[in-house]
């Protein structure tokens, strides 16, 4: 496949960026990131600066690899950028590749953004308190199946940030809803349940993410199919927490 790539190049957070055009040949069996690896090898051979982009697991697990591809977070398939294959494109295509666009995710270099805002939201409340000592027996705390299933589904959020990139408001409410639902469904998560939601929503707003107006673009972009109703649970928990005086 012969492809034309329009890629956002930006030397640092402080510098102005611009789109640059490259030609690359790739196989339909390559992943999107392997195609970028080929481009970078060619740029290295020519003595040019390779394109900076993030990746780690390349298995759809770590959430590092988000790119805006032709205006869609993670590209045309509902998966992570590392799991996107070049067979989703055609020979001769022009592909536009940009970093996540969000005030709360400043560009570090080229396609890499700083998603530290998500870490600070988790630090503000995304944990549980447990007694130290020997690990308890696995069946010591029964969890009803429905709660376990819902907690597990919410826990599949990998913190990739596609929901923020897709949202016209730049809101991270789907991410927030997933984390609050994950811990709020489990007995172990009850101790901090009400302070957690207040602290995490406060940190979300402090980081500069926008408010949710139920547009739903986040759900369409989420590679882990986190459902919109985690936002309902977030709002319900927030209302209860405020009623309880948190
Ligand atoms: S909710 Fe989905 S899109 Fe948002 S960070 Fe989690 S996995 Fe990524
Ligand atoms: S590199 Fe880990 S999810 Fe893509």
In terms of domains, do 86 and 42 share one?
yes
In terms of domains, do 85 and 19 share one?
yes
Mutate to test the pocket of ligand 2, among 56, 77, 79, 156 (most ligand atoms within 8 A of CB): 56
> Quick one: pLDDT at residue 137?
86
Mutate to test the pocket of ligand 2, among 82, 100, 156 (most ligand atoms within 8 A of CB): 82
Total structural domains in the chain? 2
Q: Atom 1 of ligand 1 has which residue's CA nearest to it? A: 175
> Quick one: pLDDT at residue 132?
84
- Do the Cβ atoms of 223 and 216 come closer than 8 Å? no
CA distance 108 to 39: 20
Q: Atom 8 of ligand 1 has which residue's CA nearest to it? A: 160
In terms of domains, do 127 and 192 share one?
yes
Q: Atom 7 of ligand 1 has which residue's CA nearest to it? A: 157
- The ligand whose atoms approach the alpha carbon of 153 most closely is 1
Q: What share of the chain is helix, strand, coil (3-state, %, to 5)?
A: 40, 15, 50
- Do the Cβ atoms of 186 and 155 come closer than 8 Å? no
By three-state DSSP, how is residue 98 classified? strand
Q: Atom 3 of ligand 2 has which residue's CA nearest to it? A: 60
| Paired strand residues for 97 | 7, 69
Rounded to the nearest angstrom, the distance between the alpha carbon of 182 and the centre of ligand 1 is 13
In terms of domains, do 161 and 83 share one?
no
Q: Is 80 in the pocket of ligand 2 (CB under 6 A)?
A: yes
- Do the Cβ atoms of 43 and 51 come closer than 8 Å? yes
CA–CA–CA angle 137, 134, 123 (5° rounding): 95
Q: The domain that contains 88 carries what CATH number?
A: 3.10.20.30
In terms of domains, do 122 and 222 share one?
yes
* Ligand 1 pocket by Cβ (under 6 Å): 157-163, 174-175, 178, 221-224, 226
Rounded to the nearest angstrom, the distance between the alpha carbon of 1 and the centre of ligand 2 is 24
By three-state DSSP, how is residue 179 classified? helix
In terms of domains, do 80 and 164 share one?
no
Q: Which phi-psi region, left, alpha or beta, contains residue 225 (left: φ > 0; alpha: ψ -120 to 50)? A: left
- For residues 26, 31, 36, 38, the Cα torsion angle rounded to the nearest 10 degrees is -50
Rounded to the nearest angstrom, the distance between the alpha carbon of 157 and the centre of ligand 1 is 5
In terms of domains, do 157 and 62 share one?
no
> Quick one: pLDDT at residue 138?
80
Q: The domain that contains 126 carries what CATH number?
A: 1.10.1060.10
CA–CA–CA angle 227, 228, 230 (5° rounding): 80
In terms of domains, do 82 and 200 share one?
no
In terms of domains, do 169 and 198 share one?
yes
pLDDT by 10s per residue, the chain, length 246 = 999 999 999 999 999 999 999 999 999 999 999 999 999 999 999 999 999 999 999 999 999 999 999 999 999 999 999 999 999 999 999 999 999 999 999 999 999 999 999 999 999 999 998 888 888 888 888 999 999 999 999 999 999 999 999 999 999 999 999 999 999 999 999 999 999 999 999 999 999 999 999 999 999 999 999 999 999 999 999 999 999 999
Domain range for residue 121?
115-131+138-243
> Quick one: pLDDT at residue 107?
98
CA distance 201 to 206: 9
In terms of domains, do 198 and 122 share one?
yes
In terms of domains, do 53 and 104 share one?
yes
Q: Is 67 in the pocket of ligand 2 (CB under 6 A)?
A: no
Q: Is 65 in the pocket of ligand 2 (CB under 6 A)?
A: yes
In terms of domains, do 208 and 159 share one?
yes
> Quick one: pLDDT at residue 130?
84
């Amino acid at each position: 496949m012969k492809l034309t790539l329009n890629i956002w190049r930006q030397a640092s957070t402080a510098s102005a960026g611009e789109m640059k055009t490259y030609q690359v040949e790739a196989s339909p069996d390559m992943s999107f990131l392997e195609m970028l690896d080929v481009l970078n090898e060619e740029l290295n051979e020519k003595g040019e600066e390779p394109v900076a982009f993030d990746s780690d697991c390349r298995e759809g697990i770590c959430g590092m690899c988000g790119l805006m591809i032709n205006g869609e977070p993670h590209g045309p398939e509902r998966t992570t950028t590392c799991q996107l294959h070049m067979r989703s494109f055609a020979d001769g295509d022009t592909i536009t590749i940009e970093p996540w666009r969000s005030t709360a995710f400043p560009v570090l270099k080229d396609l890499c953004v700083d998603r530290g805002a998500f870490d600070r939201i988790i630090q503000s409340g995304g944990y549980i308190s447990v007694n130290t000592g020997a690990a308890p027996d696995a069946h010591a705390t029964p969890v009803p199946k429905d709660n376990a299933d819902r907690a597990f589904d919410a826990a599949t959020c990998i913190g990739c940030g596609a929901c923020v990139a897709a949202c016209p408001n730049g809101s991270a409410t789907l991410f927030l809803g997933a984390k609050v639902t994950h811990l709020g469904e489990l007995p172990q998560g009850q101790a901090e349940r009400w302070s957690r939601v207040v602290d995490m929503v406060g940190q979300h707003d402090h980081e500069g993410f926008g408010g949710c107006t139920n547009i739903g673009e986040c759900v369409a972009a989420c590679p882990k199919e986190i459902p919109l109703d985690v936002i309902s649970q977030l709002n319900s928990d927030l209302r209860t927490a405020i009623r309880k005086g948190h």
